[in-house]
Amino acid sequence: MTPVPSVHPVPRVVVVGAGILGIALARELALRGARVTVVERESPGAGATSVAFAWLTNQTYFRNGQSLSDGSSRHYFALHRLALGAWRRLHHDLGDALSVRWGGAVQLAPAHGPDHDLLLSDLRRRLAWGSPSRPITAAEARELVPGAVVTDTAVGFFTPDEGSVDPNAAIAALIHAATELGVDFRYGTEAVSVEETGGRATAVVTSAGRIDCDHVVVACGADSHTLLTPLGITVPLIDSHGSIVHLAPLPPFLERVLLSSDLHAIQRADGRVVIARHYSGTPTSDPDGLDGQQLLAEAAHMLPPLRGAEIERVTVGRRIVPADGLPVIGHSPTCRNVHSVTTNAGITLGPCLAQLLTTEILDDVRVDVLDPYRASRFRRDV
């Protein structure tokens, strides 16, 4: 396909939303020579990004706690494999300022029960689909996570190429890099509507005035529907929350991501530890129900270095969960230069989706890797 020339000699792109996905997209677009403006109603990462658990994972696909071993699950897994490569490239470009740790992930489950069966099923899928995951014994788990209390009957696996990132540090590093490329960030600015002429968006109307543009990308999570619905893009979302306990800095002791049936734990590069219970996006009617002190006490049984740790804060983040659990890549049927992206895996997938969407936007090429995630799957007339 011959690329269609931009309406403007230098493509002008407005990105709505300054979560990690929107910021990574702005940087990718600017690297390709676009003139980019990012509008954000609040502050950078004010939505789901800043309170994310931020595990960089070879994600298999779960819906309501049940894994699906169909084609969409395998494709989603492959997308995460691409995403880990995108994070490696980003880490190479931005260095330690990105605050990424590549210690791998240890996943554990008891010897019997549904969590045991789910873990082994997940491991079999990962191995069949090309993950470097490998089964480990309880003794090996204790070697990988020194000091952890792991029962001799526990089962588990280790994935060496996974990692974690401090989302706030990553946002700061990406904003710095994007700003150096000329990206214009406008915080406290709400996108109100998109103006269109002849089937093309010509401007974004904001609370601070109009911004002329050649392309619009909506990446503002739970608030996306306000802009997208009038443009014919359907993104059904499930309301979901995730609670995390953030601890004050501790001496280094947890190099890897640790996930057990009752505890998820990560230590950031600055020594802060975040702990959660089943931070997987499962919808909840009681987002404020997490008892931070109780979870810390339980976590300290498995991780003794947490004894006496100080809780800095407990956050409850509103998570973006599309109705079928998969990312939603939107393209307005009435405005061909309006795009959108919504996902509940914005941390892991952000840099990868940013690169793929940049190709679609600036080269006018349909990237087939994104086809399973098109918003058109929710339209009844297709």
| Structural domain contains residue 194 | yes
Q: For 21-37, how does the pLDDT look when each residue is reduced to its tens digit (9 = 90+)?
A: 999 999 999 999 999 99
Residue that is written with structure tokens 């070879």 in the block: 58
3-state secondary structure of 164: strand
Q: For 185-206, how does the pLDDT look when each residue is reduced to its tens digit (9 = 90+)?
A: 999 999 999 999 999 999 999 9
| Structural domain contains residue 116 | no
DSSP result, 102-160? ---EEEEE-SSSHHHHHHHHHHHHHHHTT---EEE-HHHHHHHSTT----TT-EEEEET
pLDDT at residue 221 is higher than 90: no
**pLDDT category of residue 50 using cuts at 50, 70 and 90:** confident
pLDDT at residue 64 is higher than 50: no
| Structural domain contains residue 143 | no
Mean residue pLDDT across the chain: 88
Is residue 113 classed exposed, middle or buried when 0-12, 13-18 and 19+ CB atoms within 10 A define those classes? exposed
**pLDDT category of residue 70 using cuts at 50, 70 and 90:** low
Query: Which pLDDT does position 62 carry in this prediction?
Result: 53
Strand partners for 185: 38
Query: Which pLDDT does position 282 carry in this prediction?
Result: 40
| Structural domain contains residue 355 | yes
Q: Name the token pair of 143.
A: 């070697």
DSSP result, 60-109? PPEETTEE--SHHHHHHHHHHHHHHHHHHHHHHHHGGGG-EE---EEEEE
Cα four-point dihedral sign 212, 216, 217, 221:
positive
The predicted model gives 205-229 an average pLDDT of 89
The predicted model gives 156-174 an average pLDDT of 96
| Structural domain contains residue 97 | yes
Which residues touch 161 (CB under 8 Å, ≥6 apart)?
58, 84, 102, 104, 132
The predicted model gives 303-310 an average pLDDT of 95
| Structural domain contains residue 259 | no
- Count CB neighbours of 323 within 10 A: 13
Identify the top-confidence range among 95-104, 114-123, 213-222, 319-328. Answer: 95-104
Rounded distance, CA 228 to CA 331, Å? Answer: 9
pLDDT at residue 273 is higher than 50: yes
| Structural domain contains residue 308 | no
Cβ pair 87, 100 in contact under 8 A = yes
Query: Which pLDDT does position 5 carry in this prediction?
Result: 45
Query: Which pLDDT does position 234 carry in this prediction?
Result: 81
| Structural domain contains residue 46 | yes
What is the percentage of the chain residues whose pLDDT exceeds 90? 68
pLDDT at residue 89 is higher than 70: yes
Instruction: Report the CATH number at residue 369.
Output: 3.50.50.60
Q: What is the pTM of this model?
A: 0.90
Find the range with the poorest average confidence among 66-70, 187-191, 273-277, 355-359.
66-70
Cβ pair 131, 159 in contact under 8 A = yes
3-state secondary structure of 321: strand
Range of the domain at 197: 1-104+164-236+323-382
Strand partners for 201: 196
Q: For 101-110, how does the pLDDT look when each residue is reduced to its tens digit (9 = 90+)?
A: 999 999 999 9
Structural domain total, the chain = 1
**pLDDT category of residue 284 using cuts at 50, 70 and 90:** very low
Find the range with the poorest average confidence among 173-177, 205-209, 280-284.
280-284
Rounded distance, CA 196 to CA 192, Å? Answer: 13
Query: Which pLDDT does position 237 carry in this prediction?
Result: 76
Residue type, 41: R
With b for 16 or more beta-carbon neighbours within 10 A and e for fewer, the 34-60 pattern comes to bbbbbbbbeebbbbbbbbbbbbbbbbb
Rounded distance, CA 63 to CA 354, Å? Answer: 25
β-strand pairing of 209-212 with 100-101: unpaired
The predicted model gives 343-354 an average pLDDT of 93
3-state secondary structure of 238: strand
Rounded distance, CA 115 to CA 73, Å? Answer: 19
